Amino acid sequence: MANQRNASIAPGGTHAISLKVLRLSRPSLATQTPLPHTNFGNGLDIPPEASIAYPGANTDSTFPLTPLLTLPAAFGAAYVGETFTCTLCANNEVQEGEKRSVSGLRVLAELQTPGDQDGVTLELRSADDDEDDAGQDIKPGATLQRTLRHELKEEGQHVLAVTVTYTETLHGSDGGASGGRARTFRKLYQFVAQQLIAVRSKVTERKRREKDGLRQWILEAQLENVGETSVVLEKLWLNERDGISGTALNREDKRDATVLKPQDVEQVMFVLREHEKTEDEGVRTPLAQLNIDWRSALGERGSLTTGWLACRNR
């Protein structure tokens, strides 16, 4: 997971429950770089296949990708518009034969965002969709797993707060309960959400109007990949204001998806037309919102909706 703050642990010794938080990501193809052939003749030669991740590969090939899948070695970047997914694992560290047991185990999570410092409660799901409200009883050495999914909508630092509560029961020599207590601890994990697609737009009102006096505008938008991974633009469309319709000029007949490598830029243009009179709101007239759907190199879906794009009234 990302950076972890100091956990807030209730007094009373070592907890019977440990917590692991793991980010879920799609795998990617493993890479390899074969060693060059050498002929030192002094016993220092290293076979080229020694560095190959896929043993069946051709040692003379310089192609870096293999058929093997590999998981990310680190947390990686979190991008606005993508769905943040992770699994929470509460492990029962009680060993067989110990004179204590765990019951009523509950795991709760909330996410603090730049716009909501108080945090929003996240929905946790399990593989068998059992309810977590009443708490779970798990055997020694067992694990309670919960998965959360949350669409990142804000840029900046996020804090995932996970709270674990359970009841620890002590047992006497006869196996009966000799005492118990409710225990709880809380752990905080920090990560930063950053922009992946930067949008710069310009709206210009056309001087020539329709015969009935209805207005027209030209909307130009520049999409730049400001992230660290390539993306595939799958869909691009407008959400127009009531009374306005839009037509794409340069993507209308485009069949192939657009691939944006880091720092690549895609230019798009739309014509917006009034089909009924609209009232101006102040010095600027909101016209439409631009919607973008994409997939990352690992196949993760992402989406972005801009604010209302407006034109200054004449």
Cα dist from 105 to 20, 79, 146, 237, whole Å? 15, 32, 12, 46
DSSP 206: -
- pLDDT, tens digit, 9 for 90 and up, residues 20-78: 999 988 887 787 777 777 888 777 888 777 777 777 656 667 777 788 887 777 788 89
With a cut of 70, say whether residue 154 has pLDDT above it.
yes
With a cut of 70, say whether residue 1 has pLDDT above it.
no
What domains can you pick out in the chain, each with its CATH number?
3-25+73-194 (2.60.40.10), 197-312 (2.60.40.10)
Query: What does pLDDT average to over the chain?
Result: 85
**CA angle, corner 247, sides to 244 and 251, nearest 5?**
150
Residues in the chain: 314
DSSP 6: P
With a cut of 70, say whether residue 7 has pLDDT above it.
no
Single-letter residue type at 296: S
Residue 276 confidence class, pLDDT cut points 50, 70, 90 = confident
Check residue 303 and give left, alpha or beta (phi > 0: left; psi -120 to 50: alpha). beta
**pLDDT value for 43:** 77
With a cut of 70, say whether residue 252 has pLDDT above it.
no
Please name the helix (run of DSSP H) or strand (run of DSSP E) that holds residue 108, with its range, or none.
strand 100-113
- pLDDT, tens digit, 9 for 90 and up, residues 74-132: 788 899 999 999 999 999 998 887 888 899 999 999 999 999 988 999 999 987 665 55
Cα dist from 175 to 86, 122, 172, whole Å? 38, 38, 5
Query: Average pLDDT in the 214-221 region?
Result: 93
